[in-house]
Amino acid sequence: MLTTTEILKKVKELEIKSKRLTRHLFTGEYHSAFKGRGMSFKEVREYHAGDDVRFIDWNVSARFNTTFSKLFEEERELTMMLLVDISASSLFGTVHARKKDLVTEIGAILAFSAISNNDKAGAVLFSDGIEKYIPPKKGRDHGLFIVRELLTLEGKKKGTDIASALRYFNNTTRQKSILFVLSDFLDPGFSDALRVAGKKHDVIGIKVYDPMDVQLPEVGLLDVEDAETGKLVRIDSNDYLVRKSYQEEFFRHTEWCKQVFLRAGCDLLHISTKEDYVKVLQKFFIGRS
């Protein structure tokens, strides 16, 4: 358990890292990837060569006996929400970080990307129940609060219920939002809820996984415990067929997740705990702009 001093230090580190990445990499890409609600009138100015003649304000032009054009600006008022899985499986990690650590960093970057664009940011943290709801707001202090909760909140329950979290989000969020769902998606029953959310919101899944989720090491007999159910299984990791079956199950689940998101009209990113998540996010933002 982290002390208060350690928590404050970690939050500050994440703020510095997030702001640096946001400033140098994501500000333009985030702004371009997620459009506002349209264009709103800003002001009129004297007509310049090249201005669109459709936007000439004839009333103002007649009043001042010279040609004036209307200027418009993007109406950016957006809300970005994080739906974050803090179930027991998020505590697993064998390389650089646990899944939870990676999710926290990505969540911090997304929150500060939104806030630096003057958008609102909020979060729903869940396991097999809702653990914490953070209503969307603007401002640095609110961004720091989100990061602190991502860093410190531990799930009271061990399981994963993505469908309930999506339904809770749908019921508490009226306006169209950008929704990032951060999870390992070890839940077979969320496809219908995702389809409903995808009709109203811009939903992006971020599937976080550990290299050992993909491939078992050859280390002989292993007593393996499911972190969410507590079920114990003994396996022989030296057995080629066991390792092959284990890997095939990971790819089967990955393909299933892809199809669920595709049918719901939503995007899905895959990020390993040993991978440079910055490149994955940047490529996604650029691809959408």
User: pLDDT value at position 72?
Assistant: 62
Percentage with pLDDT > 90 across the chain = 39
Find the mean pLDDT for residues 1-15: 78
98: pLDDT strictly greater than 80: yes
* pLDDT at 4 exceeding the cut of 80: no
**What pLDDT does residue 114 have?**
87
- Residue reference for tokens 């994963």: 160
- Looking at 3.40.50.410, 3.10.20.30, 3.30.420.40, 1.20.1070.10, the CATH number of the domain 4-31+76-288 comes to 3.40.50.410
Q: Above pLDDT 70, what percent of the chain?
A: 87
Given the structure tokens 């991978």, which residue do they identify?
A: 275
Ranked by mean pLDDT, the top range of 9-13, 170-174, 235-239 is 170-174
- Assigned token pair, 173: 């969020």
Mean pLDDT of all residues belonging to the chain: 85
* Identity of residue 103: V
Average pLDDT over residues 142-168: 90
- The Cβ of residue 20 has, within 10 Å, a number of other Cβ atoms equal to 12
- Whether 76 shows a pLDDT value over 80: the answer reads no
- The residue ranges of every structural domain in the chain are 4-31+76-288, 39-74
**pLDDT-derived band at 2, boundaries 50, 70, 90:** low
